[in-house]
Structure formats: C-alpha cells, structure tokens
Amino acid sequence: MSYINIGIIIIIAFIISVVLTKLEIPILRAKAGQNIREDGPQSHLSKAGTPSMGGIAIIISAVAATLIAGLVWGGSVSDMLVILFVFLGFGFIGFFDDYLKVIKKNNLGLRAYQKFGLQIVISVALAVFLANYSQGSTNVYIPIADVYVDFGIWYIPFIVFVVLAMTNAVNLTDGLDGLASGVTALVTLFFSVGGLTYGIASGTYFCAAVCGGCLGFLVFNKNPAKIFMGDTGSLALGGGLAAAAIVMKMELLLPIVGLIYVIEALSVVLQVGYFKLTKGKRIFKMAPIHHHFEKCGFKEVHVVIAFWIFTVICCVIGLGII
C-alpha cells in the first residue's frame, strides 16, 4: 500500500462520482427539488428547486472504489464490510428521510425519534461488534500520549457517542454550496494518509474512495450548486467517516481534523440552549454558524473557502500529531 494506491483510488471514485452526479441531476431535478428555509439567508431562496439526494452518487462511487481496491490489493475483509455497513446504513436513513421530504413532499420527513432511533441501532451494532470481535477490542488509542487505554464497559457508549456526534455534525455542516463535500474531502484525505502511516488498508481504501467521491460531487456542488447531497449524503459521510476512524483507532483525531464539524454542531447546541434559557435571546444571528457569517455580510463562497482553509490547517496539525 502506497501513496500511488491512494491516488488511484481517489481517481477511480472521482470519475465514477462525476459521471453518476451528471446523470442524476436531470432525474432528481424532476422529482427531488430542495425546499429552502424561509428564515434563512435571503440569498438562499434562489436555490429552491435545486435537486437534492445527490449523495447517492457519492455513496455508489465510494463503495465501488473501496471494493475494487480491496479486490486488487487485499486488506481486512471484516473491517471493510463493517465500515461499508455503517456507511450504507446511515445513507439509507438519510435517503428515506429525503424521500419523504423532497419526493413525497412530507416536510417533516422521518420523525426525530425515528431518525435518531435508527442511528442508535446502527451505532450500537458497530460498537458491540468492535468490542467483541475486532483485533483491538475495547482499547482506544490516545494519539498525543501514544498509548492505548482500555475503556472496558465504557467502550460501547463511547463509540455510540462518537458515531452519533460525527454523523449529525456533518449533517449540520451541509448548509452551503460545497461546504460539507469540500471539508469531508479534506478530512478523508487526512485519514487516508493516517491509515497509510499506520498500515491499515481497509480504512485507507475507504477514506480515499470517499475523498474521490466528494471531489467528483464537488464539481457540481460548488457555488452555484447544481445539486445538493441531502441527508442521503451527509448522514452517510458522517457515519462512514466515524466508522473508518474508529476501525483505524484514530477516533480521537476526529475532533481535531474535523474541528469545523464540531464548531458547527456546538453553535447549534449553544444557540438552542441559550434561546431556551433566556426565553428568546440568541448568541448567533443564525445557526449553524456558517449562516451566522452570512447574516454578518460575508458572501457564501467566501465562508466556504475560509472553512476549507481552516480544515487544511486542522489536518496539518493532525499530521503533526501522527
């Protein structure tokens, strides 16, 4: 396994993603137009009707490239299947939610308890499997200290928290043209390099494939976006990224290299909590925080580029740690 392998996987996923996204745009435009929040930035109202559910292309391209890499270069089959199970499982939840909202025109989509409940089921299944059948069992790697710590009975709730937090954080980040796809391409590229450094083939293949899939999708998702990934893409990306990081024992690097995800999620938590405590007051002009910057007068494309640059810095810090 080498950087050449990573490059080949990225290129394969990129090509598949570009082709599939181009093909799905006219199909989804006719059936899956995006609804836009009326209380959001006024500039977003023009995006109404933009096809959503484009994450289907990312999912197919990532799965295809991962399987091709596994067949050609080998690797742990069980690790690969576990990661893809979580990736596809969360993608299915997002797809069903999008299907209800944008095709069936049910604005509520899945109920919160249904959506969260399904996420918990998949997260617990992953945690239980890894605790009982993975090579590292309940050990968690502490990067800076360079030691493994056995979490014992706390391993399962810890893993469930990591998966749920990352999945919903990526979902919240998906609010501007090219934001989630660009940030995730950078983060998965980091984990590809990290997986290569630690010699973990399956996780490396998957992260490189997701990177390529996101870059291919970004061709059409950059401002002005011709298509959105929807919950189909964002939930799959969050779940798959978390699963890959956990399998590679790099889960504690997620909040470092994926700090944008953390900030986006925290901005929502703080906004909602402060709003309830103060009976109507707000910390930010709008949450998630990318909308706050828009409300402050920054152009959407400038916010996205700034978040990309910030993520590059976080990934460089992550490389320094590993």
Binding site members for Mg(2+): 171, 231
Residues annotated within the binding site are 171, 231
Residues 257 and 314: beta-carbon distance below 8 Å: yes
Bond from prior residue into 224 cis (ω within 30 degrees of 0): yes
Handedness of CA 55, 261, 81, 71 (dihedral sign): positive
H/E stretch holding 142: strand 139-142
Name every residue whose Cβ is closer than 8 Å to that of residue 291 and which is 6 or more positions away in sequence: 40, 41, 175, 284, 285
For residue 79, which amino acid is it?
A: D
Name every residue whose Cβ is closer than 8 Å to that of residue 111 and which is 6 or more positions away in sequence: none
Token pair listed for 36? 């836009």
Q: How far apart are CA 294 and CA 146, in angstroms?
A: 40
Strand partners, 148: 141
Q: Output b/e per residue, 91-120; b: 16+ Cβ within 10 A.
A: bbbbbbbbbbbbeeeeeebbeeeebeebbe
Token pair listed for 239? 């779940």
